[in-house]
Chains A and B, each alone.
Chain A
Amino acid sequence: GENVEQHPSTLSVQEGDSAVIKCTYSDSASNYFPWYKQELGKRPQLIIDIRSNVGEKKDQRIAVTLNKTAKHFSLHITETQPEDSAVYFCAASKNGGTSYGKLTFGQGTILTVHP
């Protein structure tokens, strides 16, 4: 089955700096890659996603890049703010055939933004 590796496990940055979280996946048939933000005691919230027919997607301060050949994708947060502090999870799924929506999650990255 699919395996998703996420790095780093913890990331500490100063407010205003950029943060980058990287994930690799094993199944070349995976075609959907969402990123979720989970604050303490809250549900995971989708912040951005990318599909395999696109190499990059941006939404204000957040961007995701996908390299299908290397089977890795990354989350980029610019101009970080203290409210960006949370646990971030990447995930991968393969929508097609008999498989829909089965998200395989990375291990998570605890991001801390210091004021």
Chain B
Amino acid sequence: SAVISQKPSRDICQRGTSLTIQCQVDSQVTMMFWYRQQPGQSLTLIATANQGSEATYESGFVIDKFPISRPNLTFSTLTVSNMSPEDSSIYLCSVQKGRTGGLDTQYFGPGTRLTVL
């Protein structure tokens, strides 16, 4: 497994502002992802954070709203930009050591609970 931390664990923000969430892993991993979990709902993939290049976004998510960085194999950030109350969710990063063959198990960080007023 992997030890994953996220900062902040929670925040309350005003609409129109931006928040950057950090995800740190204790060992190098091949894949890092960002998910959103709206209250009482399932998890939805926002994007794959690619090391050294632009993130790959899923349908319905765009870079201007959710810019992502991944400068190395242990760290990534997700920014929620120009926030509205609809952005109130739990944001989770997840990591995967490899791509296939038993290394594809995905582990989740503790999440960041965001409330937008």
Contact = CB atoms under 8 A, between A and B. Distances in A.
Given A42-B110, A45-B108, 8 more contacts: A36-B108, A43-B108, A43-B111, A49-B105, A93-B104, A95-B104, A101-B106, A105-B42
Interface of B: 31, 33, 41-45, 48, 58-59, 92, 94, 96, 99-100, 104-111
A20 interface: no
Contacts of A104: 45
Interface of A: 1, 32, 34, 36, 42-46, 49, 89, 93, 95-96, 100-108
Contacts of A107: 41-42
A46 B105 CA distance: 8
B43 A89 contact: yes
A89 to B, nearest CB: 6
Contacts of B31: 100-101
Nearest to A110: B40
Contact of B45 (A43, A44, A95, A103): A103
